[in-house]
Every structure is written in structure tokens, then in C-alpha cells.
Amino acid sequence: MGLPGRGADRLRQSCQADTFGINKTLKYYDDKNVLKETLIINHNGNQTISYGFNQSFISHTIRRASSDNIAWIPMVEAYVTDAEPESAKVWEGEFNVSDLTGLISMKRVAIAYRSTDDATITFFFDDETSQVYDLPSSEGNWKKHFFYVTAKKWLACKYRFESDEDIRLYKKGCEVWMKGFSANQPFVPMKPFGGPSNETEIMI
């Protein structure tokens, strides 16, 4: 969970508690046991108050801790979060035709991702050829990277992402501009990395 960093507001939590009108310090850790936020709360009686974290972060779990020995009665906590995709060093799909028939051509690609290291995307074609393109590090931020591809006609294609560090793919934000090779129509953005397809979506 976390916030995807696309202009979103801070991660927030709503806390119902009673600290008897005394300041209490709460510390929040991610699933790697890294301290991410320190909040000072003060509830005079049974109150529900919302607090904003200064920096959003991605984690499977949030652990709250306190060592100030201030007596309090915690009741209910609720976090405002947004689902994030899993991260992996390799993502690969199966051969896909994106509901097109016959020979296919692609023009450009847009990849939405989050990474801390450079990565590559490799296109594997049905004729056993491939093309490799670079995806620069997004420095831990959400990024949508656009690039044009070398002209080629093919019947089916599969995609493989690789990086030395984990990369998160926002599959619904990824697009490939394709069309039937002989079709008298413009290239159309399609989403071959996620959702229904002729085979399966791209996976870890």
C-alpha cells in the first residue's frame, strides 16, 4: 500500500484515542522496519483526529510503536492508502496479439513504472528476433517514459522487463501504439501488459 506519487496528497491516518490531554509520540515503521514517520498526538477524551504523514511511502504493512511511557487508550486507527503493484527484478508475459489479426506493426510505447535503477524492456517476436530498449531509473518516483520503436511487422510479441533492482509496473498506465500492418488507419494505443488479452497479462 502507499500513495503512487502522482501529485497525490500525503498519506493520512485517522486515530480514535484518548491521551488524557497529554502529548504522545507515535512512530511508524514500514515492512523493512525502517522508521518512516513520527507523529505527536494529543486527544483530550475519546476523540477522532486525522493526522498527515509528511512523506508517503510504499509498504505491505505499517507498524506503530511508542516508547514514551505516556498512558493512553488507543481505540481505532484507519489509514488512507492506495494500492500499489508488486515489485520484481523480472516481469514477463506470454506471446500476445492484442486482439489484432494478421501482421501487426507498432510505432511507439509508453511505460509507467517506478524504479531505483536503470531497466530494460525486450520485445520478443514470433520470428525469433528481438528488440531491446532502455528504461532510465525513475529515482523511486512514478514515471511514464515514452519512446519510439524500430519499424517491424510481426504476428505475435511478448514483453520482458529486467532490472538489477526491483521495478514496479503500473500496467494500466502502459500503452503500445499498434495497428494491423496493412490497415488503412492510424496507430491506436493498446494496453497489452494488463487486463484481458489473448493469453495472460504480464507477470512477475
In DSSP terms, 41 is beta-bridged to 24
The reported pLDDT for the residue numbered 4 is 36
Beta-carbon contacts of 157 under 8 Å, excluding residues fewer than 6 positions away, are: 95, 96, 97, 104, 106, 123, 124, 125, 126, 192
The sign of the torsion formed by the CA atoms of 142, 146, 149, 155 equals: positive
CATH topology of domain 87-190: Jelly Rolls (2.60.120)
- C-alpha cell belonging to residue 188: 491506436
The reported pLDDT for the residue numbered 84 is 86
The reported pLDDT for the residue numbered 82 is 82
| 81 vs 135: CA distance, rounded Å | 27
Query: Could you tell me the end-to-end alpha-carbon distance of the chain, in angstroms, rounded to an integer?
Result: 18
Would you list the domain boundaries of the chain? 12-80, 87-190
Q: Which pLDDT tens digits describe the chain residue by residue (204 residues)?
A: 443 333 333 467 899 999 999 999 999 999 999 999 999 999 999 999 999 898 888 888 899 999 999 999 999 999 888 888 899 999 998 888 888 889 999 999 999 999 999 999 999 999 999 999 999 999 999 999 999 999 999 999 999 999 999 999 998 899 999 999 999 999 999 988 864 433 445 565
| 15 vs 26: CA distance, rounded Å | 11
Residue 29: φ, ψ to 5°: -120, 145
The reported pLDDT for the residue numbered 203 is 60
Query: Nearest CA to 155 among 124, 191, 190?
Result: 124
The reported pLDDT for the residue numbered 194 is 63
The reported pLDDT for the residue numbered 201 is 53
Say if pTM beats, i.e. exceeds, 0.85: no
Supply the DSSP string of 105-173, one letter for each residue.
EEEEEEEEEEESS-EEEEEEETTS-EEEEEE---TTSEEEEEEE----EES-EEEEEEEEEEEEE-GGG
The reported pLDDT for the residue numbered 42 is 97
